[in-house]
Amino acid sequence: MDDIRPKLPAKPERFMDILRQHIRKQGLSYRTEQTYTHWIKRFIHFHRLKHPADMGAAEVETFLTYLAVQGLCATNTQRVALNAIVYLYKQFLDREIPDLDFKLAKRQRRLPVVYSREEVFAVLSHLQGVFRLQIELMYGSELRSAELLSLRIKDVDFSSNNIFVRGGKGNKDRTTLLPKGIAEDIQRQVKHVSLLHQQDLLAGCGSVYLPDALDRKYPNAAKQLAWQYLFPANSISQCPRSGIYRRHHMHSSTLTRQVSNAVRKAGINKPARCHAFRHSFATHLLEAGYDLRTIQELLGHSDISTTEIYTHVVNRGDKGVLSPSDRLRNINKIEETEANYFVARKIGEVLGLSLLAAP
């Protein structure tokens, strides 16, 4: 249950607990809380546990320059660290930060890992049961692994073939398509969850975690089937927030191990990443002729420049682009065909046969 915010003391005294309480009051997502606290801790430890109130622009510049020069971090990594430190001083400590002068990290443009259709099929052939269904859903619905595992039964609408993603990246909601080919498999998964939920209710632990204040707004929802996770964990564990024993969703590491094993068995010489199936979804749609705006909306990108990265990995063969090397090979084949024709013609003349015009 590492995606559930732990409970804080009613009157926190430790610096990091007070900071977490401030972040929660601002309504920021738990992922943002984890990211900010991580970089603020690194900033403090870099300066040998010196209190942030006793530091200023010079210490911030030294830390950010270290990340770029010695840490060899990417541009986005340095930017995230800067955002965390700016929040620390401007929002939390209510102190203005002057213009900073630090070494910028080199911009690194990383192309996404994309599996071909044949490779996706090969990976699926080495997966079984719920794990195969999960990958089919990730590839067919462009879901991130965290979004997939956080799906609840109520988020799947079979009548409209839609999946509702709640609190995705950036804490945004969106809809995406439900592949018709796996709808029956998902319905069987819902029946499985229903039986498991009945067993949990009989055992006295059938309530599920509800985000924000939904448990107070809908006190009976936690025990309803609609709110149960579509891919529940195999065991019951204690909630770090309430202390109640309940069944959470499957842990991401379980799915990651399955994908790694399947990619290795399929003999695919590419990194084994769950997120690659989302990249493959976008790339294959682009190859099929769908426009960037449609793909942008499905992926939930706020900026189309993020979606444009897939134009760099699309299969150019489907776009009518022929490499100059391939043209040379075609010329060689034509010359070879013509040479073979004239040899055959000479043989035909010797044998008293006639051939039609050259191809």
pLDDT value for 339: 59
pLDDT value for 357: 47
- Residue 278 a catalytic site member: yes
In a domain, 251, yes or no: yes
pLDDT value for 287: 87
| Nearest CA-CA partner of 203 in 243, 247, 242, 166 | 247
In a domain, 79, yes or no: yes
pLDDT confidence tier of residue 6, bands split at 50, 70 and 90: confident
Structure tokens at 326: 């391939």
**Which CATH number fits the domain that encloses residue 68?**
1.10.150.130
- Residue 310 a catalytic site member: yes
- Residue 50 a catalytic site member: no
Structure tokens at 58: 């010079």
> How many structural domains comprise the chain?
3
In a domain, 315, yes or no: no
In this structure, the answer to whether residues 153 and 202 fall within a common structural domain is yes
Question: What is the tens place of the pLDDT at every residue in 314-345?
Answer: 765 545 565 676 666 666 665 566 556 565 56
Residue found under tokens 């002068």: 101
- Residue 89 a catalytic site member: no
Task: Look up the pTM and report it.
Answer: 0.77
| Nearest CA-CA partner of 140 in 176, 184, 187, 193 | 176
In this structure, the answer to whether residues 282 and 352 fall within a common structural domain is no
- Residue 169 a catalytic site member: yes
Question: What is the tens place of the pLDDT at every residue in 192-243?
Answer: 999 999 999 998 888 898 887 777 788 888 899 999 999 999 988 888 777 8
In this structure, the answer to whether residues 239 and 260 fall within a common structural domain is yes
pLDDT value for 185: 95
In this structure, the answer to whether residues 290 and 329 fall within a common structural domain is no
| Catalytic residue (choose from 154, 166, 169, 273) | 169
In this structure, the answer to whether residues 144 and 252 fall within a common structural domain is yes
In a domain, 3, yes or no: no
| Nearest CA-CA partner of 139 in 92, 78, 182 | 182
In this structure, the answer to whether residues 26 and 72 fall within a common structural domain is yes
Structure tokens at 81: 């660290």
In a domain, 30, yes or no: yes
- Residue 312 a catalytic site member: no
Domain that holds residue 359: 322-359
In a domain, 9, yes or no: no
| Catalytic residue (choose from 5, 275, 341, 345) | 275
Burial class, 105, CB count within 10 angstroms (exposed 0-12 / middle 13-18 / buried 19+)? buried
Distances from the Cα of 335 to the Cα of 146, 330, 331, 332, 339, angstroms: 56, 9, 6, 5, 6
In this structure, the answer to whether residues 326 and 236 fall within a common structural domain is no
**Mean pLDDT, rounded, of the chain:** 86
In a domain, 99, yes or no: no
pLDDT value for 348: 60
Question: What is the tens place of the pLDDT at every residue in 53-85?
Answer: 999 999 999 999 999 999 888 888 999 999 999
**Which CATH number fits the domain that encloses residue 199?**
1.10.443.10
In this structure, the answer to whether residues 344 and 271 fall within a common structural domain is no
In this structure, the answer to whether residues 20 and 161 fall within a common structural domain is no
In this structure, the answer to whether residues 134 and 68 fall within a common structural domain is no
| Nearest CA-CA partner of 274 in 285, 283, 289, 262 | 262
In this structure, the answer to whether residues 60 and 139 fall within a common structural domain is no
The HSE-up count of residue 67 (CA atoms within 13 Å, CB side) is 22
Say if CB 259 and CB 242 are below 8 A apart. Answer: no
In a domain, 316, yes or no: no
| Catalytic residue (choose from 20, 36, 87, 144) | 144
